[in-house]
With several copies, the nearest count.
Chain A
Amino acid sequence: MSEFTADEMMTVAAARSLRDGAACFVGIGLPSTAANLARRTHAPNLVLIYESGTLGAKPDRLPLSIGDGVLADTADSVVSVPEIFNYWLQPGRIDIGFLGGAQVDRFGNINTTVIGDYANPEVRLPGAGGAPEIAASCREVLIVMRMSTRNFVDRLDFVTSVGYGGGRGDRERLGLRGRGPVKVITDLGVLEPDPQSCELTLTQLSPGVTVEQAQEAVGWPLKVVPEPTVQPEPTETELTVLHELMETR
């Protein structure tokens, strides 16, 4: 059994969530690493789409930004930024979108805009970017974030991207056409929306993590399925490919 870090477990878990052949809207950082890992392991036909306008990029190294030249060089097509949002993301053609953020709440809503008051912020974050429409339009969303009471909060300071809003039925009411976040992948485990209430519920633990540890890392009383499973550890192959990938940066 190899050694692996919590972040590696998180990346591998995210990669495993990507089924072969899916069209995936990829952000830079962990999502891009996970998508490229998936493409090199179980999902060789994963279609990588970056908001910079590259459709079907097949990078031979880990891109360093969403606009890395290797993406344009290896893409099936390069389109403009208005086109990528209007013709490709908005109609709901993309199977899976990745999101991260500074704060997430129990319904998978995300804040990437501001901590504190909008007019007098404690911390000004980067802002929305592509997230609101990725959250709205991708058929499914995966959220990837490290778990801590600072990030998993009872109440967002700002709703940048909508998960399930105030709960079941809100996406439909808002006219959001994708399913919403189907998984929140963290260093400590995986949360999934409760089929009835849409409240994020702990369904899987990372190896060696307890339910209590996960609950302590969340700023609301975290619900847990009756028998949370333990995620399979990263395989030798997954770790090897991941390490190779990280070296290409």
Chain B
Amino acid sequence: MVGVARILQLDEAIAELVHDGDVVALEGFTHLIPVAAGHEIIRQRKKDLTLVRMTPDIVYDQLIGAGCARKLIFSWGGNPGVGSLHRFRDAIENSWPVPLEIEEHSHAGMANRYAAGAAGLPFAVLRGYAGTDLPQHTSTIRMIECPFTGEELAAVPAINPDVGIIHAQQADRAGNVQMWGITGVQKETVLASTRSLVTVEEIVDELTPRPHSVVLPNWVVTAVAEVPGGARPSYAQGYYERDNAYYQQWDPIGRDREQFEKWLEAEVHGTARSAR
């Protein structure tokens, strides 16, 4: 047992759960992205992290630009609907501020890596990658033969992050978590991780079962932190809409090192906003 989820402040939770050098996954598929938690990681100047995410977007651009990461494991990195992640590109193309190693997969491969991690298996099998150049550059893609049909399939190793971080709509006072709407690979992220943190919009007296909801019982969650608005500029269904303008506004900031560093000082290091 990981023990029962404790309800912590966000800054305490990050200080306790995330260590330099850890493999950290902050997951969210457009919806419920744990942005405030990412900012707190920057604020606490964590470094040498291996960041994992299927769809690294601007909060990963920020973490990379701030120099928190030495490696990124991902399947699609971009500012959705806007364009490139310029801090990510600057790290890969120019090693700024630090070199960034990458390990890239397809979505199907990443989803299966998390699923294998959640299932306590060392690897997953999928129909994937055949004929692509990905296996040449990604050593975590291998072939495996079906022991019944002889067919060749792709195998990918499980992902078991040291820390998995997600954002959900609600937790109850006992630390049980409920999220709904598009819930992506977040259940798998928590179940695959050694430690987990769920930031939530609110802590409620009782969780009411809802259609399409995912419930994570408190005995598989390490910590819960109440962080209203913690997914902004992404959205939290039932709480607030996606701030589409912000994704546009990020482009010129991310494009320029100086602008980015100003942003970092003003919006992260200069404020404890997202810490409570």
Query: A and B touching (C-beta < 8 Å)?
Result: yes
Type the 1/0 row for A71-93, where 1 means its CB is closer than 8 Å to any CB of B.
11100111011100111011111
In the assembled complex, the Cα of A136 lies from the Cα of B188 at a distance in Å of 22
B→A interface (CB under 8 Å): 1, 4, 29-31, 54-55, 74-78, 80-81, 84, 88-89, 92-93, 104-108, 111-112, 114-115, 118-121, 126-134, 137, 151-152, 176, 180-185, 187-188, 191, 212, 214-215, 217, 219-220, 235, 237, 241-242, 244
Return chain A residues, CB-CB under 8 Å to B215.
55, 76-77
Task: Specify which of A54, A118, A176 is in contact with B182 (CB 8 Å cutoff).
Answer: A54
B76 touches A127 (CB 8 A): yes
The smallest C-beta distance from B25 to any residue of chain A, in angstroms, reads 13
Q: Give the docked Cα–Cα distance between A113 and B135 (Å).
A: 13
0/1 per residue, A24-66, Cβ < 8 Å to B? 0000110000000000000000010001111110000000111
Does A170 lie at the interface of the complex (its beta carbon under 8 Å from any beta carbon of B)?
A: yes
Query: Interface on chain B toward A: helix, strand, loop, or mixed SS?
Result: loop
Contact status A128-B75, CB under 8 Å = yes
Given that A47-B217, A170-B131 are known contacts, is A53 also in contact with B92, CB under 8 Å in the complex? no
> Judging by beta carbons under 8 Å apart, are B81 and A87 in contact?
no
Residue from A69, A73, A123, A130 in contact with B108 in the complex, judged by beta carbons closer than 8 Å: A130
In the complex with contacts A69-B237, A93-B220, A127-B104, A165-B120 CB distance below 8 A: no
Name the residue on B nearest A171 (C-beta): B131
| A124 at interface by CB-CB < 8 Å | yes
- List the A side residues contacting B114 at CB < 8 Å: 82
Q: Among the interface residues B4, B80, B151, B219, which one has the most CB atoms of the partner chain A within 10 A? A: B219
Tell whether, in the assembled complex, residue B130 and residue A162 are in contact, meaning their CB atoms are under 8 Å apart.
Answer: yes
Q: Are B120 and A174 in contact (CB under 8 A)?
A: no
Indicate the member of A51, A71, A127 with the most B CB atoms within 10 Å: A127
> Contact: B128 with A133, CB < 8 Å?
yes
Contacting pair A65 B187 (CB below 8 A) = no
Chain A interface (Cβ within 8 Å of chain B)? Answer: 21-23, 28-29, 47, 51-56, 64-69, 71-73, 76-78, 80-82, 85-87, 89-93, 95, 113, 118, 120-121, 123-133, 136-137, 158-162, 165, 170, 174-177
A128 with B1, Cβ < 8 A, contacts A80-B188, A87-B119, A174-B131 known: no
- The one of A93, A95, A128, A137 in contact with B76, judged by C-beta atoms closer than 8 angstroms, is A128
Beta-carbon contact of B219 and A121 below 8 Å:
no
What is the CA–CA distance of A85 and B75 in the complex, to the nearest angstrom?
13
What separation, in Å, do the CA atoms of A72 and B118 have in the docked complex? 23
Q: Provide 9 A-B residue pairs closer than 8 Å at the C-beta atoms, listed in order of the A residue.
A: A21-B219, A52-B31, A69-B182, A76-B215, A82-B112, A91-B118, A93-B191, A162-B130, A165-B131
Q: Choose one: B130, B131, B133, B241; the contact of A69 (CB below 8 Å).
A: B241
Q: A72-B212, A133-B127, A174-B130 are in contact. Are A126 and B77 (CB under 8 A)?
A: yes
**Residues A65 and B132 in contact, CB atoms below 8 Å apart:** no
Contacts of A55 in B (CB 8 A): 215, 217
Which residue of B is nearest A164, CB measured? Answer: B131
**What is the CA–CA distance of A29 and B184 in the complex, to the nearest angstrom?**
20
Q: Verify B131–A128 contact, CB threshold 8 A.
A: no
Query: Besides the contacts A64-B244, A87-B188, A130-B106, what 19 more A-B pairs have beta carbons closer than 8 Å?
Result: A47-B217, A47-B219, A53-B29, A56-B217, A65-B242, A66-B29, A69-B241, A78-B181, A81-B29, A82-B115, A87-B119, A90-B121, A124-B92, A128-B132, A128-B134, A133-B127, A162-B131, A174-B131, A175-B130
Q: Which residue of A lies closest to B118 (CB)?
A: A87
Whether B212 pairs with A52 at a CB distance below 8 angstroms is no
List chain A residues, Cβ under 8 A from B181.
Answer: 69, 72-73, 78
CA distance A76 to B120 in the complex (A): 22
A128 and B185 contact, CB distance less than 8 A: no
Contact call A132/B128, Cβ cutoff below 8 A: yes
**How far is it, in angstroms, between the C-alpha of A113 and the C-alpha of B75 when the chains are bound?**
10
Complex: A124 Cα to B221 Cα, angstroms: 36
Question: CB < 8 Å: which of A53, A123, A127 contacts B74?
Answer: A127
The interface residues of chain A lying within 8 Å CB-to-CB of B111 are: 81-82, 85-86
Please state if A82 and B81 are interface contacts (CB–CB under 8 Å). Answer: no
B108 to chain A, nearest CB (A): 4
